[in-house]
Chains A and B, each alone.
Chain A
């Protein structure tokens, strides 16, 4: 398939562009192989470039032979309206192109495969967060370590969604792992996710295939039970509700039979399934975009979207797990059904709470890499479509084609980012990064010039040779030109566990994200908020400078003092005692000084 076939009309002039702010403007529209480009062709007016991959829905309203209106709804919540009056054919061609190009199935045609950076990379993000280095602290050779890296999955045959390297208990051999994987949904046998400083660990897996007849698997039991040291206990936390877990049994899934995991206590911490998230997001974004409704209407729409409830439930579950690990010193095995969504959401949030490293820029990158990318969250599938085209009110005819499987699209990752945002709000000085980084991650996870979020698992990424053919987002973010813009000026490293409040009044709408393309942040609101954060940076920089300057001057003064005593300009300490008496004020000092030096 060639791009030429998909782009019948590549340029239309005299298009009227409506955005969320300001008056409509006259622009020229270009459809390139990867971007929709809108240019006013005036100096000082920025062009608008939208990646086709970012387009969630294309709505068309034909207007006879004149042309028609195309509404482009993006995955980053932006909505633009384009009025084309250069004839019906051009209108249809453009709309078709946008639809086709935004739903390409062949991943190698996507922009990351064509994007070439114009800067030099200092560090390759593709190799920055290898399992070996990430767990290096755990795996010091020769030490009394109980964990090892297993390459049993190096061909991705044991578990399609796992990475080639996983961390498992040292005394469990690969054969046991293979057997255990057969007992777990999708082969996702229990692996180490995080080890806390007290020694308790967080494991994740998928549901056991216990089925209705309570099947068991000796190897899985051996694997799970071997994690607990003598006298230790553990919790198996299930993110499904009781009824959901029960009904999973009928379909061959289910829960671990308690009798065979004697030291583990099973707990249910239900959070909603990923399938409802997108619907919830869709309602939320619709409500955010409607700035003309009454405040009561807004409040009830905010409520009925349930988005904040999902945030609360997720945080709550993460806090419970973190509490087991930190305060009870117990280990936790976490799973839902497939172990691809809610499981990862909770394990990653747990680490934000427990592990100070995850609150740094690199740490967050590593966390996303470990718990989402390598752990096999199917980004390409989940982010194929977003809130404007799935669920909610705006289902587009013709929009749902080419590989969109109903129920497979979700925004679990966005929910994770929102939860991190909430913790960030409550601990604004404990994070090295600012919330802008979270927004960047959101954007790039949906559409990007970087290959990081392409594919559904490591197997996909290796097949596509992403590390050779595309640039990693981490390479970009870690550049010295970019990094400073992600830094939180108020950061003071905090080595403690941070416990967020999950009370309803503590959780707030993420305005900078959800309202940024709604006119609620127009009229200079966002500019003023930006100015405030710049002021913050300025104050911090100034204080830092003053601090080092004061230290420098102090050192210099001490040296001079020594020298002055040496050459006898200053009197030695004892004899000066009396003279010191009058120096309460600066005026006094001068007088004393005179007396001292000219006796």
Chain B
């Protein structure tokens, strides 16, 4: 599924080379000794990588291993109505309309639409019929200051057509925000593209017909230009032994960073308008590519919730999945028109990455999360991104037949956490500095498989390991303090009952204890009181408790391969076994269990050896 293209290269003395390019930007060349084999593999790959029907995609066959999540997990994480509820919609100004509950108004929109309360059914129907693909203006995001972001497709205005209902619709949106006398209509296309569309009976809003709107062209290029730009960017990365200047000029010539900056700039314009209390209506041509990019980014700028792991997924559900970004077409899941393929979602992820560079503590997720998202959008392993719109997904009964990516993510949450995330700092609207100097080339995405070019020591992974380690120790310390406490009280009571031999020694310990007590956080104190009198343990248990928690973890540095001899590359996650502190690959550390040395008894990652050992002691005990 990841295969973008397979290409047979000219025959060499070694055999017949077959180059395979992947959507994850991996490019490999196999040399097959026999030409016929090469041809066969080539044909097979061609067929398999581009199935004809959606039902042939991987997600319909994929079954998670038993210990992984259940099939239904993740499908119910997000609910559009709840998402709008979070923005306090419906309210006086905005209401839910069920006009689209059978996808009759617009089949690429979600079932539930939120529109100005003042807009009548006639207005909605009329507006919908005046918009390309019926994508009428609906609420995308409502800010706390009542300024709204609405999205739609281009009006079918041609050179002079008008539609009263559509004009009323926009007026209703304007009126839904009591704080502003005007609003912006942002056309994210370059003016020339919009003009060209007029000839086809489409176009843009005429400021003379719509009351109190300020119309603006922004100039994000179309999907074809983006596709070609990415192609050039990848060529820049694949140059053989480039000089610094070759590389930089190839990046420049690709124009990729210019497009990224255009998307960010546009989002920023919208955000500024919203912050000033002015509502914005956004569209491009059909309103599912550029509009999806800038609307989702604007929400990300404005709403701290969307910068959390959960909130970011909600954002994708809302702006991309519900509002019908054509993932099947844009990612080229099926054999068909390759002209429809375009890295629109990749650009969105990159924009987010650019923001994380400037806001290292504001996003709850890390780069690995963005890469995982990117890969799984392409992989078709999960049903989440199958289909072009909500209706497609419902028709395919994806939630019954396939797994959800969100369920998988929920299970691997700790891999995707940003260790530097500070929730208390994630409160404001983002005001990034979009000077050209701050827009960088994303090596981690486009050169991901170029193993030599990445930092040899990955700070973020080391920090993540550090946080895990701290959390393990905290848990262990809680248990230790408990044990010390109970032993002490035990000895105390024994001492009171006549034992005086070791008095001095005990007093020593008591002194120590008071100093420790101060360090112990208050929340634990209640627990101690309860257990002070009763709990006592055996020597064996103590020993096994101590043994089960590694105080020192092995450093991630210079670990080239896992015990199973899987080599580590830059992006493979290295995991610590919480019991022995050794480093393993993700596959070898799939077991989770509670450690005797932890107070909380939560399940933590351990290696297979340790798992076996823990199980064994457990089974002996319970025998």
Contacts and interface: CB of A to CB of B under 8 A. Distances in A.
Contact of B601 (A309, A501, A585, A597): A585
B7 interface: no
A427 B456 contact: yes
Interface stretch (A84-92, A154-162, A292-300): A292-300
B501 A427 contact: no
A459 to B, nearest CB: 38
A539 interface: yes
A551 interface: yes
Nearest to B452: A501
B469 A543 contact: yes
B359 interface: yes
Contacts of A518: 435, 437
Interface of A is mostly: helix
Nearest to B490: A569
B470 A539 contact: yes
Contacts of A525: 358, 432-433, 438
Contacts of A570: 487, 490, 536, 538-539
Nearest to A595: B536
Given A296-B252, A296-B258, A543-B469, A567 B491 contact: yes
B558 interface: yes
B432 A523 contact: yes
A585 B479 CA distance: 12
Contacts of B622: 581, 584
B484 A553 contact: yes
A529 B466 CA distance: 20
A426 B456 contact: yes
A504 interface: yes
Given A535-B420, A546-B474, A580-B540, A298 B437 contact: yes
Interface string B514-542: 00100100000000000100111111111
Contacts of B474: 546
Nearest to B243: A309
A566 interface: yes
A547 B552 contact: yes
B395 interface: no
Contacts of B255: 296
A594 B534 contact: yes
Contact of B502 (A521, A543, A557, A563): A563
A553 B244 contact: no
B459 A551 contact: no
Interface stretch (A51-59, A465-473, A488-496): A488-496
A523 B433 contact: yes
A550 B539 contact: no
Contact of B491 (A294, A543, A563, A577): A563
Interface in A529-567: 529, 531-532, 535-536, 539-540, 542-543, 546-547, 549-551, 553-554, 556-557, 559-561, 563-567
A503 B436 contact: no
Given A291-B436, A429-B462, A543-B466, A299 B535 contact: no
Contact of B463 (A425, A492, A536, A580): A536
Given A582-B621, A586-B599, A567 B494 contact: yes
Interface of B is mostly: helix
A306 B425 CA distance: 39
B441 interface: yes
A532 B360 contact: yes
B612 interface: no
B419 A546 contact: no
A207 to B, nearest CB: 27
Nearest to A494: B557
A61 B483 CA distance: 77
B463 A561 contact: no
Interface stretch (B27-35, B60-68, B96-104, B505-513): B505-513
A380 B244 CA distance: 31
Interface stretch (A133-141, A318-326, A331-339, A507-515): A507-515
A298 B459 CA distance: 29
A573 B516 contact: no
A59 B509 CA distance: 73
A490 B534 contact: no
A589 B596 CA distance: 11
A295 B436 contact: yes
B477 A583 contact: no
Given A519-B435, A532-B360, A561-B539, A554 B459 contact: no
Interface in B150-194: none
B249 interface: yes
A293 B252 contact: no
B420 A505 contact: no
B87 interface: no
B491 A540 contact: no
A37 B132 CA distance: 63
A547 B472 CA distance: 10
Interface string B420-435: 1010010000011101
B125 interface: no
B438 A564 contact: no
Interface string B250-262: 0110010110010
A354 to B, nearest CB: 15
A242 interface: no
Interface in A418-454: 425-430
A419 B463 CA distance: 25
Given A300-B249, A503-B453, A506-B454, A429 B437 contact: no
Given A546-B470, A572-B539, A528 B359 contact: yes
A559 B487 CA distance: 10
Interface string B237-251: 100001111111101
A543 B443 contact: no
Interface string B454-497: 11110100110011011001101100110110111011001100
Contacts of B481: 553
B477 A580 contact: no
Contacts of B358: 525, 528
Interface string B526-568: 0000010011111111100010000110010110000000000
A426 B531 CA distance: 50
Given A312-B244, A505-B447, A539 B463 contact: yes
B410 interface: no
Nearest to B499: A567
B211 interface: no
Contact of A597 (B490, B509, B599): B490
Interface string B609-623: 000000000100111
A520 interface: yes
B484 A557 contact: yes
Given A429-B557, A567-B499, A593-B537, A511 B470 contact: no
B538 A564 contact: no
Contact of A580 (B438, B487, B536, B541): B541
Contacts of B450: 503, 505
A274 B477 CA distance: 58
Nearest to B544: A580
A522 interface: yes
Contacts of B506: 563
Contacts of A515: 437
Contact of A504 (B248, B422, B531, B538): B248
Given A528-B358, A576-B539, 6 more contacts: A299-B251, A426-B456, A426-B457, A550-B480, A553-B480, A560-B491
Q: Which 4 A-B pairs have the closest CB atoms?
A: A504-B247, A576-B538, A593-B536, A532-B360
Interface of A: 288, 291-300, 302-303, 306, 308-309, 311-312, 425-430, 490, 492, 494, 496, 498, 501, 503-509, 511, 515, 518-525, 528-529, 531-532, 535-536, 539-540, 542-543, 546-547, 549-551, 553-554, 556-557, 559-561, 563-573, 576-577, 579-586, 589-590, 592-594, 596-597
18 contacts: A295-B439, A306-B244, A492-B557, A494-B557, A494-B558, A503-B453, A504-B246, A505-B237, A505-B247, A519-B433, A536-B463, A550-B551, A553-B484, A557-B487, A560-B487, A567-B499, A571-B538, A580-B538
